[in-house]
Amino acid sequence: MTLNSEKIRKDFKILDQIVNDEPLIYLDSAATSQKPQAVLDVVSDYYLHDNSNVHRGVHTLGERATQAYEASRDKVRAFINAGDRRQVIFTRGTTTSLNFIARMLEGRLDEGDEILITYMEHHSNVIPWQELAKRTGAKLRYIELDSEGRIDMDDARAKITSATKIVSVAHVSNVLGVVNPVKELGELAHAVGAYMISDGAQSVPHMSVDVQDLDVDFYAFSGHKMCAPTGIGVLYGRLSLLEELDPVEFGGEMIDFVGLQESTWAALPSKFEAGTPNIAGAIGLGAAIDYLNDLGMDNIHDHEQEIVNYLLPKLQAIPGIEIYGPSDPAEHTGVIAFNIIGLHPHDVSSAFDMQGIAVRAGHHCAQPLLKYIDQQSTARASFYLYNTLDEADKFIEAILATKEFFGLK
């Protein structure tokens, strides 16, 4: 099945607008995706008809809100093929999920243990481990990358040793657009008794993800990058670990019994969901999953790959353009970071904005990576299910127009 781009675009009313006298072309979905009307309607309907706290009241609104909230958990479970709904913990997003993991595993690290990540990680998968290393005396180490930004698996094999306790890697880079071999890294990690963690913020929205096949111990992702509202995310964990580990947020609803001096925790998944959750966000995430499932994740992936296969060779043929990540379109997702030599990325982004095209400029919350590739910042275009080949052409035209405006050959 081929996605009907024109039909899909009608679901996203925000795209039907003029920016700086030009039709909007939104190429910043790696930062946050747009939301289809079906998701907006479900969230609005909740607030209009069912707004109530969950798991607390036995009145009709409370029952309906709880039912919708927990139905979304079941949708997430099926979407990532988790084995049990208790493995799906709602959080504020990928950042919160990764911070939870770092806190939960703190008691299992000692001085001299090693935490292994890569140079391509988002700050959300760097700073929690830096802080964990400080608190425990563990050492944070980095896996090298090859010349096109792929993980150097020889270096990974050399660095994953009996001292390694945690391996945490992005499934897909938010800068390089490379898909990382999470399953293979997990096999290496588990062989030495280490935990395997993956940041799925840039993978879950764009491809089919099977956490059981990946055999990860923890997996984190955000709703707002997959057509859902902001402020909702998921932490998936291996059931035995979630049962063993203690929560790191405390308060209402995550307790079984509260005494004057001590308390006991509720069963999963409530154990890790303290306080009033983002009910509307979770319900919106469920609606987004319905929307993506209706389109088909394989179809979404194929559509984005068609754009990359078409665009990347054209981009590579333009003189004075540096592109970061794999040169083979088959190895590159719809995240394309680039620079026009001689121009600051912020000037490029501003020039694109004047042409109605939204791209991001900066370090993309990946400063260690930018230093690793000897760049202070880049521009980044990121394509999603609502983008078209015509927009890819206009993106190329914008690069040529920008070069001409600044007098570059």
Active site residue 365: yes
Which position has the token pair 């394309």? 336
Supply 213's token pair: 């096949």
How does DSSP assign 244-312, residue by residue?
HSPPS--STTSEEEE-SS-EEEPSTTGGG--SS--HHHHHHHHHHHHHHHHH-HHHHHHHHHHHHHHHH
3-state DSSP helix/strand/coil % of the chain, to nearest 5? 45, 20, 40
Dihedral sign of CA atoms 196, 96, 336, 342 in order: negative
* Alpha helical stretches, state H, 137-259: 153-159, 182-191, 211-214, 239-244
Burial code of 37-73, b = ≥16 C-beta within 10 A, e = fewer?
eebbebbeebeeebebbbbeeeeeebebbbebbbebb
Burial (Cβ within 10 Å: 0-12, 13-18, ≥19) of residue 107: exposed
CA 220 vs CA 91, 103, 124, 193, 385: distances in Å: 9, 15, 11, 21, 22
Three-state SS at 64: helix
Quote the CA–CA distance of 95 and 125 in Å, as a whole number: 8
Structure tokens at 115: 């935490």
Task: Point out the catalytic residue in the list 24, 127, 365, 401.
Answer: 365
How large is the C-alpha radius of gyration of the chain? 22
- Which residue, 20, 11, 32, is CA-closest to 349? 20
Distances, alpha carbon 250 to alpha carbons 13, 32, 66, 108, 216, in Å: 40, 29, 21, 20, 26
Alpha carbons 90 and 94: distance in angstroms, whole number: 10
Closest CA to 217 of 249, 185, 246, 247: 185
Amino acid at 186: G
* Stretch (H or E) spanning 219: strand 218-222
Measured distance CA(175)–CA(323) in Å, rounded = 10
The catalytic residues are 365
